[in-house]
Amino acid sequence: TSPYFFNAGLFTTGEALAKLGEFYADAIIASRVEFDCIFGPAYKGITLAAAIAIALYKNHGRSVPYAYNRKEAKDHGEGGLIVGKLTGRVLIVDDVITAGTAIRESMDLLAAQRELQVVGVVVAMDRQEKVKEEENVSAIQQVERDFGIPVLSIAKMEDLITFIDKQYKQDDRESLLQNIKEYREKFGVSA
C-alpha cells in the first residue's frame, strides 16, 4: 500500500481551486498542445475542467468549452451521459493517474463520439509509480503508449520530494520522506 495519497478533493476554497486551475492552464499553454475543448471525468475532473476553463480565459484569453460525464445516463431533461459541449480536439483533465482506469473509461466514452479526437491528458501529479511491481512502466507511460497521446503533469513525485527536502526541518523531513523513499525504491519509475 502506498504511504501517500494525492487528494485534490482538499482544494475546497475558491482561492485554492482558482490557483489550481491557473497551474493547469499554465501547464497546458506551455505544452503547446492544440485543443478545442476540455473534458473532466466524473467526479473530480468536473470541478477541475470548470476551473481550468476559467483560468484559460482569464489568464490566457482562450475561451474554450468544457464538458464532463455523468456516472449514470439521464433519460430526462438534457439526458445522456455527457454534459457540456465536446467538439474537435479534446484534452482530458484529471487530478492524478494511479492505474489509468478513469482515463481508459474516458477514452472509451469519447471514442464513441466519432467526430472527436483526444489529443492529450493533463494531471496535477505524476506519481511516477509502476502499475505492477514486475513492470518498470508507470500508468502515465502506459496511457501514452496505448493511446499515442501525451500526458502532461503540473508536478511529479520527485518535485514533491525535492520540495520536502528543501522546506522542512531535518527531523520532520526524515520522517516524511523515509516511507516515501522506501516505497519509491520498490515501485517508483523515472520521469
Quick check: is 74 catalytic?
A: yes
User: Are residues 122 and 93 in contact, defined by beta-carbon separation less than 8 angstroms?
Assistant: yes
User: Are residues 158 and 169 in contact, defined by beta-carbon separation less than 8 angstroms?
Assistant: no
Distances (CA, A) of 77 to 43, 50, 80: 20, 21, 9
Distance CA 98, CA 7 (A): 12
User: Are residues 156 and 126 in contact, defined by beta-carbon separation less than 8 angstroms?
Assistant: yes
Considering 71, 76, 169, 186, which one is annotated as catalytic? 76
Quick check: is 132 catalytic?
A: no
Considering 74, 85, 132, 181, which one is annotated as catalytic? 74
SS3 state of residue 98: coil
User: Are residues 40 and 47 in contact, defined by beta-carbon separation less than 8 angstroms?
Assistant: yes
Distance CA 111, CA 135 (A): 28
Rg (CA), the chain: 17
CB atoms within 10 A of CB 44: 19
Catalytic residues: 74, 76
